Structure formats: structure tokens, C-alpha cells
Structure 1
């Protein structure tokens, strides 16, 4: 954690020098000195973090460095705070500016003094760093490091070998190397296989080494991997052990404790009259070769030494000492690179035309390195060929390998980190959404204890739950739980960067908010007993994240304009319906979430905030939910949405038909859009999106609530679409014809979408569909499922289709079906499922593990749960009652 804190501060100092140092030039050299010294020490911090638990001296040094990093960060942030003050206009404003000027001068000198003091402290720490460097070096070398004479070797991870099938043209290469080994002079020869990392040097040499003819030609074969051992002593012991497995010879006592000199003599003696082959793999430096070569005898038996290396000087130098040959491996030519790439990415099938440009760009970045091609192919092979956005994200993340990620938003980078934690099983998925996204996650209790304990010990974060727990007097990140009823007397919140409050009583909450928290970056007050926007919050100008979700806040003051660093404003499930026009001056705002739900007769209604002219100024916005577009300015607002080119989620309520054209033109410019939700001003108002010529290419989720004259002509082209919810479309034509070939669709919910009497799910249609809901089809009498349709359907919901008296014909073909829900359907259909007997419908769904039938009642739901496995054993069906909020009609989910 010290490493993270220091690196964060180095970035902050760099930004300060680039942007704000002109405001106090007197301290420029001091600031540069602080940064330089921190950079010098940062290289050792990872090793220091690993030693912290076991070495008290290192622990104290790291603690002091961490404290200095925090103090420096505070000094910079406090100075920037003074610069952010708004002085107003007129005489009062002039007086305020003069007053602030005096204060700023004092603050300026105070900050310079602080930086000078910090610089002095860091110089003292640098002395400690010099004293501890041997410990850091030892930690960096790895667990095999010792203090003997052979500590020259740097610790490296094992090389990642390629499979022989991943080297194009390996047979010719193998033939050439094999001939060099078994032919030629009787004197020992070195064959150096040289080339940059990732070309497959190790794989090629291993193929030759394992060849039966080569094994038969040499009496002793030994393979030494320089990246597997941290010191020369262990390498020589390894060579010796491989030799004695082959040569039956008396071994002197004490070999395990021999020094390097005697080990070399012993090996040399064992190999003196023997034709040997020794491979020195992944040799990086000349001193590594020098450390081993004297153990290999210069006999006349035709012995050979193979060196694999990236170091051209080493390759040629070693061959000059032992008359040898250099085999230079080259990157693959374009044609062979493409062949390998397609073999690994598409299992030998040619690249789909729509991915060719992206794949060619990625392949160019691999620069003909087989290892790079195989590695990136392994990533791409898991991607859906129809989700072009996933392939584009990989493309934009390459500025070479193991480099800073460019072309990604911070949110996308965070998602990568999140997925990495999932892949390493450090966090677990608790539940997923219907389209596969993670809804909730969790960590193991033991891991959580470690995280919270270490965070507290290092002053990073604190969880306030128990009054009697001893805590540090200065806290930087604080989570307050409802069990905590009072703050400790010695607690200072002036350095606080993040505050999370859960379940606090009103009096306690007010006391916390009255504290000095001017450096706060994050304020999250989920479901707090809050009725108005706290005025003091507007003065905390470092705020980046502000959430009053689930509170009773109803207005937002114009003073929010002071929060110029704000990136997220979360007002979900509050009573806010309007925003001040000043909010459009918050140029860094990325997430604007203002909406709530209300239950009206078993259905949900959504409410957002009134759209205002000027929203196009928020060009950093990525998420905008929900704007109400039913006033005089709506047409202008619909046009301005096209300026928000960073949007990935957009939700609009109360759209009028006449605004559809302007909205369509705007949507065509939103190429990053992943989710869109549009509801018309009422159920009879038409949503007109037919003017949309080029829909967002990466769209994954779409929710349309309102009448459609016809399905948008561009909808079948959405190859990335995962989830589609349509409500009150009232189409005359069968929508399944247009929807059945959507390649990625997994969740389809249709509510009063079609006015026909028959629905037919054709064979080979809806290839990935997992969830299907049919609701309020008032004229529907027959549903047909052809064999081969919806092969992966797991959940089927049919509700409020009053003329449908039979289950879908062909439902028995849905072999993956796990859940069948029948709600508010004709009694005849329900009786067949509940009472069973010889009815065909009952036996058609005998393979379905869980069936639910139910009706809405005034007091909630009356649900019959039918467990078919239990029923087959002769048990009776059990009825239960559920509250009205347990089950929602289709289309009730929101885009966020």
C-alpha cells in the first residue's frame, strides 16, 4: 500500500508542477526535489511492502514514508482549495478578493514552509533507504537469495514456452539445428539461438533436445533454465544431478555443501570423456555464461552447448570462444503470422469479414512474435464474434504489451481490474443479470478480515462500527455503520477523503456533516435520513462522487456549481424532479442519475428530471438517466444529445412523436452507446425512430416503452444486442420475423407488443435466447415452437394472455427449460398444470424442474409452486402467497 500511496503522490506532484507551480515559484525546486527523491525510493517499495510484516526496521521506515506521502498530499490539496474560492461581484466581491489575496499569501508561505519541512524529512528517509537497500535487494531477488559469492543472478519468472504447433515452419528450423548438433568438428561447439522474447527459441530448442536421434547421439543431456534458479550454486547442483542420473559413478560425500569451485571441478571431471549436450536456456548476461562455461570440459568427443538468449553480444561472444554457430530467429512474415493468428483465434476458420480490420491492426502490434500472437489469440478466442465492441476494446488497449492502457475510459479500465479479480477468484459473483453482467459480488470473510485489518493498520481506511474500538486519530477513508452512535473524541475528519454512511440516526448524521471535511473526494449517504441537500457540501470542492441515493432530498441548490471536480451525481430514488441550470457548468460530470420508481396497480412508473437546454455542454457524460422530454424545450434538448459523444447509457421519458426525428439524428452520433431506454409520453404516443440511419454499433440493451408503427428497420442489424424489452408496441406484424436472427440476444421481454392471434418461433431462430416473457397479448390464441428454436431457453414467462388456453405447441422441444411461469392466465390452462392427470399439456412439460402458476389478488400474489420431481413421487402441490413487489411485469428493469 505504501507503493500505491507514493506512486499516486508522484503523479499528483507531476500534475502540480505542470499546472499550478506558477502560483508559487519559490517552491518549485523544493517540489521537484520531493518528487525526485520519491521516484528514487519507489523502485524499492514493492519489496518494502513484502518485508513490512517481518522486519520492524523496514516497517517503521515504510510507515514514515507513508505518513510523508499523506502530509504532502494534504498540503497540495489545501493549497488548491484556496485557489477554488468564488469571490462574487461588486463591492462585496472586491472586498472578498482582497481578503482572499491576503489569506492566499499566508497560505502560500505556509505551503512553501510545509514543502521545505517535507523535503527535509524525505532526505532523512533517503539515508534510511540507503541503509536498508540490501534488504530490499534481497527481497527482490527472491526466496533463493543468499549472501554468498554467487548472488549475481537476478530473479526472473519462468519463461512461457510455446507449443510446437504454434511455431510456423518449425520442422525446417529443427532440421537445421539437429544437423549442427550431430555433424561437424569433434571439439565442443556453442550454438547460440538468439532473438527477441516471444519468438519461440525455447520451444524450438526443446523440440531438438527431445528428438530421439539427438538423445541417442549424446551420452549425457542436461537442460539448465537460468530463469528458474536465483543463484549459480543451485544451477551447478542441478547440472550435477542430471549428470549422475545417467553416469553410474561414485559420488563423493558432501556434494550438497560444496562451494562453487569444487562443484565446477566435479562436473568437469564427470564429463571429461563423455559426449555431452548442455542447454543453457534463457541466458541474459555474459556473466551468466562465464559462471558456467568453466564447468564444461574442452574434450574431443563432439560435445555441444546450446544457448538461448536475447543478448546478441552474448550469442556472438560465446560462439567465438568455442568455435560455434549463431542461429538467428526472425519474426514471422505477415502470411505466417495471419495463419497462426486465425488458427488460434478462430480454430482454423477464416476471420469473419467484419473483424478483419480490427484483427489486422492487432496482428501488426504483435510484430510477428509467435508468443504475442498466441497470447492475444487466447484472449480473443473467448470473445463473441458478434460483439464487435469487445474486439475493439482489445484493439484500443494495445500500445504494445504490458503498457499503459489508452483508448479506454477510467470505467473501462476499472472493469478490466474487476474482471481480473474475478478471474483470480479474489472476489466471487453472488448473482448475475439476465444478460450475464455481474449484479452483486462478495469476498470471503477471511479475505475481508485481512483487507480491513491491513487498511486500518496502514491508515488507508477505517470501518466505524464499535465505539470501544481503538482507532487512529486521523482517518482518510471512513465507513460509518449504524451500530456506531458516537465519534471518538480524538477523531479528526479534516484529512478525510472518502465517507460512506449507512443507517445512521439523524442526530449523528448531522454531527458528522458539521465536521471539517474540506478535502473530501467521495460522499455516499445511501438511504440516510436526509430531507434536504446539505448546504456545506457545496464548499467541499474536491468532491468527485456525491450520492444521496434513497434519501428524501427534493431540490438541488445552484451552489452545486462550486463542485467543479464532480464526476458522479447519484440522485436515484430521491424526490428530485428538477436540476438547476448551473449544473451544466460541471464540465467533468460523467454520471448523472436522477430518477425514481412508483408502484401503480402492480406496475412500475418511472420519473426523471425535466430536460433543460444546455445539456449538450456536459460533453464528458457517459451515463444520463432519466430526462423527461415533454416540455417546450424538448426538441432542442433532443438535438443537443448528439453532442454527448461519450455516452454509453441514455434514458429518456415522455418522448413525443414529433421529437423522434431529432432524437434519431442524435443517436446516430452516439457511437459508444451500450444501453438505451425510451418511453413515450403515454402508451398511445408513437416512438418514431425510423430516421435513425446508423444505430450505435455496440448497443447491448434496449428498452422501448410506447407504440411503434413498426419495428425499427435497423433493429435486426444490432449484432451486439443482448437484452430487448418492448412494451405497448401494438404491432400489426409478427415481431418474431425481425427478431429471430439477432445473434447475441439472451433476454427478450414483450408486453402488449403484437395484436395478432398466432406467434411462431421458427427452427434455428433465437439461437442464444435464455429468457422469454410474453405479457398482455390480448388476441393471442396459439403459440408454436418449432424443433430447433430457442435451443438454450431456460426461463419462459407467459402472463395476462386471456385467450391462450393451451401451452405452446412444441414446448417439449425446449430441453434446457428450467423455469416455467404462468401468471393471470385462463383457469383451464392453470388446472392442467396444477392437477395433472392425462392431459397432454401436463406431460409436455414433465422435463421442467420448476413451474409456477399464480393470480394477482388485492393483497398480493397467490402462487402455486409445482415441483415436478416431488409430484412424480406422489406428493401434493404446495401453495404459497407472495407480496406484490416480489414479481414484476415484464419490462420493469431499467438500463442501469
Structure 2
């Protein structure tokens, strides 16, 4: 960690000497000396940090280096704030420079004094470095563990969603718990508790049970709620309400946010009473009083309702009188299962090499059958060269203790991280316990904090994603939800690991966490980053670089923000802010500005001063309950093309005409472009601009209007065709295409989108002779299709050999569609099929039986004839045989009383509940 800080500060000093050297004056020599000494320290730190746990003197020396580097960073920020960046020309410019110099004399003296003080500290630290280097016999030219050619290592599984701990030793306890869930139909509510220490896999086991098809079949209403140590009970109830509404694709009641705790309990109870048989999981319960609070929101009924709890504390399970004999105490893995998990992690299921057998068994023995420990140490060993038994033996001899042994194992995994990954992992302590971490936001924060290093041939974002994947592969971060192609969407860290890195973070003054209560910091300790949980109070400092105000109840941007001249990251997402002041132009270091789900509709011309801005996100949903209508955007200044660093532009309002569309073509670094209010006559100009965007990965285009009244999107032009050879880079880079608006024909260039993984077409209204499937069927990487009001024809035919990688398909609001044909060999990997508001469709897709991998079929507001066919099937009928392989079929419809109902079918069973 200290090495990372020193490296960052050293690079900043080099930049300062190069770009602002003339402003340093007599300080230049002092700054150069500090930079050189930091360079010597960096080489030694790499080895010293690996040995610091063995010697308190090294720990203290590393702390001194880290704090000195932090102080240098602060002085640099103060200097830049006061002096750098002023470029004046001519007579007036000279006069301004003189006046500036006179005004800044006291400040310059202060900076000079601080630099002299730091220089003295650096000299003393360097003397200690030379002494320790001789005393410990450390050669700073040796950089630690060897890095052998990848071909000499066992390759590691890059799949992000593999939950390895559930692959071994889980079948027997899983079946035991399922039998407890399904046994009997007691009128009394039954609670099944799973108890065990952190890291045993309680959550993994219960999740496997909760998702089992037999459980899903018997409990049509299910929910999963994470409780955690600091339980916010009203928030927990709201989360439960959201989950209970999720399957219905309906928004939750707006009144929910203002409900009292008693009101929320009553709402949940009323919902569940009408819904039918339910199974709810409360994961990670700490407080014995929790059950006494939550049980009053859970009706007993006469359906045999079930609740499952996971907890570290056996007293919590005992406090639930409804548990009776239903407490399952998890045990460590058997030696056989531990070995299987160990080998799966390190050798991908292959046998352990004979020369490593003894040391491998010795290491595994110290894990005590704890899956978390096995995966953590396995992730560490998987990065080692299998030909180097000495590397394995070194790790073996570093292990000790029992529960502390597990933490030591996790600490070893942390210590073994490359220096660039350590601050990234420690940074996760800014999030509360069990918080679902948005991966996209996380990597942007890493970038804003300057944790991510540029890599040749990669964008800074791609490098950050690579960091995240490495932490995932080392089992230090767990993916909880993924986008298409397995790209992680949300992630978490294990509770035990969080305890470990909280200690590391405090030791290294990386992040200070508080719950918002009054806090006094020791005078000798400077707070570098402050995470305030459960409070809207914000610590503001003129050197602040990252400010996240998402979800705060504010209607105006606080004026204090515009004094934070070092700010690189500013998020006002989800606030009620409607105006961006002209003072935004003062934040010239800003790289990320998020105004999503705000009321902002226009940005001032001063936004053009933010030449470092890479992410500009401003939008609001047209209809909060239905994303098919797209988003409102913002009107920007006419010279928007001057923001050459922009990589994400979402969502720009093009109603002002072709000028803004032409400016987009100057933003050659764009990776994501969302444009709305496009006029038909501007389609030609947009095509010309898109040809220049050779790095574009996501494109969303919405025309003027809404729904059936959308204007035509015209993206076919012979002279500026995107299918021409000159646009090859654009066509190869695009991965997501979204269109809101009418189409006369499918754009001819869509057939060339070889790397497209997702396409959304809303309200295209294509005529029968313009079948959209023709253009898309042979795209080799297409994973997801969503059509809403996209086609006026009567038939859609998925032809044999087409859509080979398609996994998810949504077809909605196409009133003329009467037949769907799926030829054998088409869509062989389809997992999810959603049919909604297709009133003329009176039968399921022909040959649906050939969709052998189909897991979920959703039928929302479909014709009564089709629903009758699906519901009234008999086991010996042809319709039954066509559908028998689909594990879950869901029917949604509006009843005569105005209520929305969901009906789930498994075989010939039906379960209905209200929403």
C-alpha cells in the first residue's frame, strides 16, 4: 500500500516538475531531491512490505514513508490550488501575473516551509532505509516472488459466476433442508435456522435450497433479505416489499417511503396473506430480538409457510420458538470434500502434482475445512508457479492460529496482492456491511482516486475492469449479479474478509468509517477518506477529490461544492436538483459528473471548461414505471465537441438541430453515446458522426416523440452509409444497440455488427416485409433481444441455424403478431422467453419443444385462448409434452376487480396470488 502511495506521489512530482517547473522557482531543486529519494524508497518498499509483519521496526518505517507521501500529496494540492494553471499572455497577462505573485507571497512562503520540513523528514527516513537494507540483507533489486511464463502455470478459471463452495459437500445438507421445508403442511409458521461460523458457507447452502426447482414449485412467493449486524428495520421491510413486487414487473407503492414501521409490517402481512404459500430467507441475523420484530409482519395462514434464517449465533436460532427442532448446525467440509474444493480452485479439478502433495495437504490441514479459507488460500496458491515448491512451503510456514488462522490466511492473500490491487481492495471498506456494490461505480471511484495505472493498449476503464477481475479470481470479491456475457454488475466481500481489511485500512489510514455520530479524530492522524454510514452529514475539505451525494434530499447543488477545485468525481444521482450553476466551470479537474434521475434539462456553457471530463451522465426516465419509453436528456452548448476527453455521453438532447449532432462526431473517445429527440432530417448527419466514433461500444438513439407517435429514425444513407469500409472500426466495436422510434427499414449496417451482444428496438413499427430477424439471425455474439412495438407483421420465424448464442428474448406489444415459429436448430441456447401483450398470438411458438435449454417462460396479458391452452393441458396431451421440459412458466394478467395477478405453473399445478 505504501509503495502504491509513493508511486503515485512520485509520478505527480514528475508531472509538476515538467509542467509547472517555472512556478516552483527556488523550490525546484528541493522538489527534485524529494522525488529522487522517493524513487529509491519505492524500490525498497516492494520487499519491505512483504516482511513488515515479522518486524515492528519495518512496520513503523513503512508508516513513516506512507504518511510523508500523503503529506507531500497535500502540499502538491495546495500548491496547484494556489499557483499552478495560470496562463496569461500580453501586457494584461503580465500585470495579472505580477498581481498574482504579490498576493501569493505569504502562501508561497508557507508552501516553501512545508516542503523544507518534508525534505528533512525524507532524509531521516532514507537514512533508516539504508540501515535496514544492510541489517536485513535485503537487496532492493529483488522484487519478490518470481513471475514465470503463464504456460508453466495451471491456468485459472475465468468464469465470474462460479460459486465454487457450493460444488462440493453440499448435496446432503441441501436435501436435508429441502425435506424440512416440504415436510408436512402445518398451519403454524415454521422457521428453519442454519447456524455456523463465518466462512462455512451458510449463505451458499441456503441460496442453493431457495433456488431449487422443487422449492420454487411448492412456494410461489419467495424472497431473500440480508439482515446484517447493523439492521435498519424499516429499510429491511421496504426491501422485502420491493422483492415481493419484483416478479410482477410493477412499481412499488409511492406511499411506502412515508410509512411507519407498523404500517410497513401491516402492508407486508396483508400482501402475504393474499399471496398464498411463501418461503422467505433472512440471511445473516445477529440480534436475538430480530425474530420478535419481524414475525408480526408474517401471517401464519394455513399454507405451510416457511422462513429460513442464517446466523453465526446459536442463541439467535434458539430465540425463535417456531424453530423447534428445525436448527441445522453447519459443519466444516470433510477431508475428502476439502481436497476436492482445493484442487478445483488451484488445478481446475486436475490432480495435484506429486511433488506438491505433502505441502498441499499440510496447507489444507490448516484451513480446518472452512470453505472460505480454502478458497482464499487456493486463490493465493493458484497464482504461484507449480514448479516452485519453495513458494508453496513459504506460504505453508506463514500460517498459524484457529479463527485467527483464517484471518491470517486472508491477510496472506491481501499481502500477496500486487501493490496496485491493495488500495483497490482496502477501498471497499467505504461500503457498509453486506452492501451490494455496483461494479461500474466501483471502478470509476478507483479511477477517480488514482488507484488505476494506465496500461499500454488499454483504456483506463478496461484496466480497472482487469483489476476487478483479478480480485474476483483470487476469491477476494464475490460476484452477486452479472450483465450479459458474465460481466459483473454487483459484487460483495465476505464478512470475515471485511473484518480483516477494516483493520488493514485503519492501520494504513486508508479509510475512516463512521456511522455519522460525533467523532473526534486524534490530532496526529489525518483522515484521508471518510465514509459516513447512516447519515447525510458530509465532511467537506478544499482538497476533496471524490464526492458522492447520490440519493440525498437536496433540491439545489450546494454552493460549497464549487470551492472543491480538486474534485474529480461528483455524483448527484437521484437528487431533486434541477439546475447546474455556471460555477461548475471552476471544477476544472472534474472527470466524472453524474446527474442521472435528476431534474436537470440543460447545462450551462461553462461545462465546456471541464476539459478533463470523461463521464457526463444526465437523464430522467420519461415514464418511471416503463423503460420502454426511454429517457429525457439535456440540452448542451453548441460547442460540445470541445470536450475531447468524453468517453460516456448520456443523454444528449438533439432537438436543437444538426449542429449538436455534428459536434458529436468530434468526440472520438466516446465509448457510450445516448442521444434523444433526434429528428428524421438529422439522421444523415448522425451517420457521418458515428463513423468517427471508432471506440463506441454502446449506442442508444431515440427520435422525437413517444410510443406510437415516435418520428422515424433514418440511419440509412448511401453516401454516408455505416456499412462502408471506412466505418469498419465503428461496426466492430459496437456491442449494445438501443433504438426508440419508428424505422422504415432495418439499418443495412446491422448485419455487420459481429460483436453485438444486445439489441433493443422499441416502437420501430416495421412493416411485415421488413422482418427484423433477417438482419440479426446470423450475428455470432448476439446474447439478448428485446422488441417492443417493433413489428407489424403476422409471423416471426426463427430459422434453423440462427441465433446460436441467444439466451434472452423479450417480445412485447406487437398487436398483429399471430404466429411464432422456431425451427429445429434455432435459438439452441435460449434460457428466458418473455411474451407480453401480444393479443393476436393464440398459440405458443411452434416447435417450442426444441428449445431444450429454456428455463423460464413468461406470459403477460396474453390472449385468453393461449392462456387456456397453457393452463388446461393434460399429461398425455401434445401441448403438455411440448412444454414439459420448461421448469417454470409464469402467467400474468389483470383480473376483473382491477387487481394484477400472477400464476405460476409447474406441470399441471397452478398457484395464483394477487399483486
**Matching residue of 2:122:** 122
Structure 2, unmatched stretches of 5+, are 154-385, 395-452
Aligned to 1:728: 763
Q: Which residue of 2 aligns with 1:879?
A: 912
From the superposition, tell whether residues 84 and 880 of structure 1 become closer, same or farther in structure 2 (CA, over 3 Å): farther
Deviation at 1:461, TM superposition (A): 1.1
Aligned-residue offset at 1:85: 8.6
Matched, 1:639 2:662: yes
Are 1:738 and 2:775 counterparts?
yes
Match of 2:591 among 543, 567, 571: 567
Q: For the structure 1 residues 602 and 550, does the alpha-carbon distance in structure 2 shift closer, same or farther, using more than 3 Å as the test?
A: closer
- 1:789–1:416 CA distance, 2 compared to 1 (3 A): same
Larger radius of gyration, structure 1 or 2? 1
Distance 1:664 1:434 in 2: 27
Given the alignment of the two structures, is residue 704 of structure 1 paired with residue 739 of structure 2, yes or no? yes
Give the whole-Å Cα distance in 2 for the aligned partners of 1:158 and 1:548. 44
In the TM superposition, residue 411 of structure 1 has moved relative to its aligned partner by 1.1
* Structure 2 residue 506 is matched with structure 1 residue 431: no
Compute the displacement of 1:47 (Å). 2.5
Q: 1:409 to 1:706 in 2, by over 3 A?
A: same
Task: Output aligned runs, 1:69-108, within 5 Å.
Answer: 69-83=69-83, 100-108=100-108
Quick check: 1:465 aligned with 2:515?
yes
Which of the numbers 485, 488, 493 marks the counterpart of 1:443?
Answer: 493
Q: Deviations over 1:406-444 (max 9, x none)?
A: 232211211121122222222111101234322111111
**After the TM superposition, which residues 743-892 of structure 1 pair with which residues of structure 2 at under 5 Å, given as runs?**
743-837=780-874, 839-856=877-894, 861-868=900-907, 871=908, 876-882=909-915
| Contact 2:676 2:703 (C-alpha < 8 Å) held by counterparts | yes
1:537 aligns with 2:561: yes
**Deviation at 1:162?**
6.0
Paired with 1:592 and 1:119, the residues of 2 have a C-alpha distance of 40
CA distance in 2, matches of 1:856, 1:454: 55
Secondary structure of 1:750's partner? Answer: strand
Are 2:62 and 1:62 equivalent residues in the alignment? yes
Q: Residues 208-237 of structure 1, C-alpha deviation per residue, up to 9 Å, x if partnerless?
A: xxxxxxxxxxxxxxxxx997669xxx9xxx
**Pair 1:878–1:141, CA change in 2 (3 A):** farther
> RMSD in angstroms over aligned alpha carbons?
3.0
Equivalent positions of 1:108-257 (< 5 A) are 108-134=108-134, 137=137, 157=146, 160=149
1:476 alignment counterpart: 528
Q: Deviation of residue 31 (structure 1)?
A: 0.9
Tell me by how many angstroms 1:808 deviates.
Answer: 0.6
Greater relative contact order: 1 or 2 (C-alpha under 8 angstroms, separation 6 or more)?
Answer: 2
Pairwise CA distance, 1:69: 0.9
How far apart in 2 are the matches of 1:745 and 1:629? Answer: 29
Against the structure 1 CA distance between its residues 160 and 616, is the aligned structure 2 distance closer, same or farther, given a 3 Å change threshold?
closer
Q: Quote the residue 1:616 is aligned against.
A: 641
Change (3 A) 1:601 1:622: closer
Shift of 1:99: 6.5
Deviation at 1:46, TM superposition (A): 2.2
Once the two structures are superposed, residues 88-119 of structure 1 have per-residue CA deviations (whole angstroms, 9 ceiling, x without a partner) of 99xx9999977643341222222122111111
* Correspondence for 2:691 among 644, 668, 683: 668
- Following the alignment from structure 2 to structure 1, what is the Cα–Cα distance between the partners of residues 41 and 843? 75
3-state SS in 2 of match to 1:877: strand
Q: 1:584 to 1:136 in 2, by over 3 A?
A: farther
How far apart are the structure 2 equivalents of 1:845 and 1:614?
A: 57
Contact 1:805 1:829 in 2 (8 A): yes
Distance 1:158 1:700 in 2: 34
- Kindly provide the CA deviation profile for residues 691-722 of structure 1, in whole angstroms up to 9, marking residues without a partner as x: 23335321000001111110011101100000
Deviations 1:795-833 (A, max 9, x none): 011111111111011000000000000001011211222
Kindly indicate whether the alpha-carbon contact (under 8 Å) linking 2:680 and 2:712 is maintained by their aligned counterparts in 1.
yes
Structure-2 change in CA distance of 1:812 and 1:104 (3 Å): same
CA distance in 1, matches of 2:29, 2:50: 33
**CA spacing shift, 1:446–1:645, aligned 2, 3 Å:** same
In 2 relative to 1, CA 553–643 (structure 1 residues): closer, same or farther, beyond 3 Å? same
Q: Give the aligned partner of residue 424 of structure 2.
A: none
1: CA distance, partners of 2:796 / 2:751: 18
| Alignment partners' CA distance in 2, 1:227 and 1:823 | 59
Distance 1:139 1:443, change over 3 A: farther
Q: Deviations over 1:507-535 (max 9, x none)?
A: x45xx4xx4x1111111111012110111
Q: TM-score, normalised by structure 1?
A: 0.64
Counterparts in 2 of 1:161 and 1:642: CA distance versus 1, 3 Å:
closer
Is the 8 Å Cα contact of residues 751 and 775 (structure 2) preserved in structure 1? yes
Post-superposition shift, 1:612? Answer: 3.0
Match of 2:550 among 509, 526, 536: 526
Partner of 1:250: none
The verdict on how the C-alpha distance between 1:701 and 1:160 changes in structure 2, with shifts beyond 3 A counting, is closer
CA contact (8 A) 1:579 1:610 kept: yes
2:469 is the counterpart of 1:409 = no
Shift of 1:571: 0.4
Measured in 1, the distance between the counterparts of 2:152 and 2:514 equals: 53
TM-score normalised according to structure 2 size: 0.62
1:624-648 per-residue CA deviation (whole Å, 9 max, x = no partner) reads 00011113xx211111111000001
Q: Is the 8 A contact 1:155 1:229 kept in 2?
A: no
Q: Counterpart in 2 of 1:370? A: none
The partner residue of 1:718 within 713, 729, 753 is 753
Q: CA deviation at 1:471?
A: 4.7
What's 1:546 paired with?
Answer: 570
C-alpha separation in 2, matches of 1:684 and 1:155: 62
The answer to whether the 8 A contact 1:799-1:822 is kept is: yes
CA displacement 1:49-74 (0-9 Å, x = unmatched): 23333322112211211111111111
Alpha-carbon distance in 2 for matches of 1:35, 1:860:
70
Look up the match of 1:685: 711
Q: Could you tell me how far apart the structure 2 residues matched to 1:586 and 1:120 are?
A: 37
Displacement of 1:856 after TM fit? 4.3
Give 3-state SS (helix, strand or coil) of 1:43's partner: helix
| Matched residue count | 603
Over 3 Å counting, the alpha-carbon distance change for 1:458 and 1:753 in structure 2 is same
Distance 1:747 1:798 in 2: 14
Contact 2:47 2:144 in 1 (8 A): no
1:807 and 1:841 in contact (8 A); partners too? no
Match in the other structure for 2:26: 26
Q: Secondary structure at the match of 2:833?
A: strand
Distance in 1 separating the partners of 2:568 and 2:828: 46
Distance apart, 1:749 and its partner CA = 0.9
Match of 1:650 in 2: 673
Tell me if 1:595 matches 2:609: no
